[in-house]
Amino acid sequence: MDSRWINAVNFGGIQVCDEKINLTVATSHQSENGYITTVSSAESERAAYAFIPQTPIRSTDAHLEEFSEAMRTVAKALRQVVEGKAAAQAEAAEWKRKYELEIASKERKHHNATKGYSNFGNDKLEKLTSQMALETASIDQTSCCGNHGICSHQILQDECPGPNRKPDGKIVERKAPFRLLWGCDRDKNGQHKHDFVSFEKGDIKTAERSNKQILLKWESPPQTVLFVTKPNSNSVLALCAEIVRWLKEQNNVNVFVEPRVSKELLTKDSYFNFIQTWNNDQEVKTLHTKIDLIVTLGGDGTVLWAASLFKGPVPPVVAFSLGSLGFMTPFRIEQYREYLGNVLKRPFSITLRSRLQCHVIRDTAKDEIKTEEPILVLNEVTIDRGMSSYLTYLECYCDSSYVTCVQGDGLIISTTSGSTAYSLAAGGSMVHPQVPGILFTPICPHSLSFRPLILPEYVSLRVQVPSNSRGQAWASFDGKGRIQLGPGDALICSISPWPVPTACLVDSTTDFLRSIHEGLHWNLRKSQSFDGPPA
């Protein structure tokens, strides 16, 4: 085997030289006549290891060094991808395992609950199972009701277990229980589609959804109706008297009215001595425990006033249109017998209209607990500059994130129900009332790039007047109850847990589209003339 003295060896562009090294070829050597002679692997390995430490690098290729660095970066990225994929697969397997355990646990509970009643008849067993499902729904706030179409925590329970006796001897019947149903199609096994998102094998996708129209079904006939009427109108008062008489004589319903209306009706006719009312603010706070249904006679302002009477839960509202422009009053007064008869006896569609819960925090308050009473609004809260000649200067935060500084005439924070009110006039978008969100609309901002926002309903907005503000600001709630905000004061707004359920004439979407077509003449234009086919 040949041994050659090598003065310089070139390995992939790296020139290595210093002294003469006797290098034995590692694997093979091609002779001059073209034949290949092999050497032992042990001998070649010893030669390679002996060569590497004895060969210092005099100079390096800059391109090779850059390429090596890039390869190390790629290897690191690939390693992170592999690790991330393994973590995602492990997490998906854990979620799948928890899901299977939960399904198995529910099946065992159902099997154990019905095991002892196998001797019952089919009718009795079905009745017992249904009763147990209702009892479980009232206890387990996380389980799904299955047959009744809405999760148990969404079932509104009666807060009055028995009749209420007033000091004057009048008896108010217990509230009529009802159930809310998703207006959705059933699949083959009779179960409703509740899941919006499915998670399987590390992939997220949206599941089949229902049409999400919500139905209200009375479990027992409603007994008490509250009438809220447009003030200072003799024609509305006459209609109220007519409907109250019809409800009492045809349906034997207890009637509540406002103190003002009670005085006017009793002055008109002593026949109405059966109507009931309240005498102080303390009785107003417990009004929701007595009222099954609210009937409003007026426009959207009357609906706003009716909602403001309830600081907590709000009974279903049937709004009759007697105003000039109404987006929440779908019912015509001429057919009140038909509409009220259907509402009292049959399931009907409702729209759950979100309300904003507003807290005013004064700069002089030592902590957020010592604040003013919360204010609930159905349309919007408006912060404007009032009589000041200076622009409003407001700092806005969404949860803990800074949003922007408002400089202009003011700011509107609106519900989706209020999107067709002041927010629309200020350039905001029209939003379906069932869309969960909060509208953030500036009023004449001092910037052309300040466009309206729609934020998710779970956030809290804080609007603060900075300490260095030149002027003060004023906040109004649904167009009334103006409150002055000085430097350092803040207004916090979030979605209230108590929505306003309004009855639909058809359904939520149909009523909304009809209101913007009829009320706003939305996209109404003349049709193009047709003079025949083009030449």
Q: Please list the active-site residues.
A: 300
Q: Which two tokens stand for residue 61?
A: 């290729």
Instruction: Give the integer Cα–Cα distance in Å for 13 and 27.
Output: 21
Measured in degrees and rounded to the nearest 5, phi and psi for residue 202 equal: 80, 5
Helices (H) and strands (E) in the chain, counts: 10, 28
Largest CA distance in the chain: 132
Instruction: Give the integer Cα–Cα distance in Å for 26 and 19.
Output: 19
User: Which residue(s) pair with 475 in the sheet?
Assistant: 383, 483
Q: Which helix (H) or strand (E) holds 254?
A: strand 254-257
Residues whose CB is less than 8 angstroms from the CB of residue 244 and which lie 6 or more positions away in sequence, other chains included: 227, 255, 257, 265, 272, 275
Q: Which two tokens stand for residue 511?
A: 């009523």
Residue 246 and residue 337 in contact, taking contact as beta carbons nearer than 8 Å: yes
Of 403, 530, 512, 398, which is closest to residue 461 (Cα–Cα)?
398
Q: How far is CA 386 from CA 469, 472, 473, 483, 485, in A?
A: 14, 8, 6, 10, 11
The H-assigned helical ranges of 116-191 are 122-139
**Three-state secondary-structure class, residue 306:** helix
Q: Which two tokens stand for residue 185?
A: 């199609």
Q: How far is CA 404 from CA 111, 428, 465, 491, in A?
A: 57, 17, 13, 15
Residue 150 and residue 180 in contact, taking contact as beta carbons nearer than 8 Å: yes
Instruction: Give the integer Cα–Cα distance in Å for 334 and 408.
Output: 46
Instruction: Give the integer Cα–Cα distance in Å for 93 and 201.
Output: 7
